[in-house]
Chain A
């Protein structure tokens, strides 16, 4: 499975020169927890709601401080065409919860541990269905045998 195929959410971007207040408002209005900081078409960083609190509020930065003062950079990326296992590997290696997905070096979207966990949970539910049916309808096979 390609990483791009596991991308569940749209990405939202912000310019480096915009303020941390604007970043917070964007997160609130668009329902995302992280923003891609994009200069033209170049991805320069990622800012999360946690960054706004720890690097902004906790350090007393004014609300009109530039968002690139609190962003994480350089960004850990995974190629859109890479196998999803490469993304898993990057999550393990770097200990992060979000990876920027890029294609030809340009930001495409954000993949998160949370999204992958939801997918895994769905897969597990699907896998457990035959077992679940066997437990709850264990006598069904017996009836078929009796008819032959």
Chain B
């Protein structure tokens, strides 16, 4: 997974009734856009060191050119 600051990552719920969650990438710690990332969760505002797995999909933000 390669992301840039400002991209959104959606993590699907693992249990029945558990909603998908999303977060915004605020820092890329890996090389060449790779993980880990510091993310801010949309529902709580908490910041976390995040290592995306197969349950995570990135939505690229349209960055200014």
Residue B6 interfacial (CB < 8 Å)? no
User: A10 in the interface, Cβ–Cβ < 8 Å?
Assistant: yes
CB distance from B37 to the nearest CB of A (A): 10
Main secondary structure of the interface of A (DSSP, over half): mixed
Closest 7 A-B residue pairs measured CB to CB? Answer: A13-B49, A11-B51, A10-B53, A29-B44, A10-B56, A10-B52, A7-B53
Judged by DSSP, the binding face of B is loop
Task: Among A7, A12, A41, A109, point to the contact of B48 (Cβ < 8 A).
Answer: A12
A38→B38 CA distance, assembly (Å): 13
A7 cross-chain contacts in B, Cβ below 8 A = 53-54
Nearest chain A residue, comparing its CB with the CB of B44: A29
1/0 per residue, CB under 8 A from B, across A14-52: the answer is 110000000001100111000010100100000000000
A135 to B33, CA, bound (A): 52
Is B46 in contact with A29, judged by CB distance below 8 angstroms? yes
A8 proximity list for chain B (CB < 8 A): 14, 53-55
Does residue A108 face the partner (Cβ distance < 8 Å to B)? yes
Decide: A13 and B55 in contact? CB cutoff 8 A.
Answer: no
Q: A13-B36, A31-B14, A41-B29 are in contact. Are A25 and B46 (CB under 8 A)?
A: yes
